[in-house]
Amino acid sequence: MQRNLLDTHTLLWFLSGSEDLSTQARNCIEADGAANFVSIASLWEMAIKVSLGKLELRSSLNHIYGQIAANGFEVLPVTFEDTLVVSTLPFHHRDPFDRIIIAQTINGGLTLISKDQHVSSYNVKQLW
């Protein structure tokens, strides 16, 4: 069974039907039997960026959260084990949201669906 963690931009593009989402990424998310996860850090990242005026959402965070559930995606909490992995990651990238998402990918044995090129610097399975 394919187990995917959607990066923040991947989630937003999937939910909006954006053509920015690659065909391969969409097919992987929609594949029969795929288990799809969204980090609570992605929702936190959206909330912070909205409050700073760096992100404009087409719908409210409440609506996005409802869409996550409606699509059968599971929200992953940040665990102490995730923070331990973050403390050992090399600093290829300093974004705290990306680093915790990478740690969750490692701990969960997940495939990270992300367009971000810096992800390939880490020892994680990435799909785009």
CA distance 126 to 128: 7
- Low pLDDT (below 50) residues in the chain: none
User: What CA–CA distance (Å, rounded) separates 42 from 76?
Assistant: 10
Amino acid at 102: I
Prediction pTM value: 0.91
pLDDT value for 6: 98
Residue ranges per domain, the chain?
A: 3-121
Instruction: Tell whether domain 3-121 is in CATH 3.40.50.1390.
Output: no
CA dihedral 115, 121, 49, 59 (to 10 degrees): 30
Q: Whose CA is closest to 25, among 57, 15, 98?
A: 15
Predicted local distance difference test score (pLDDT) of residue 118: 82
Q: Given this model, what pLDDT does residue 103 score? A: 95
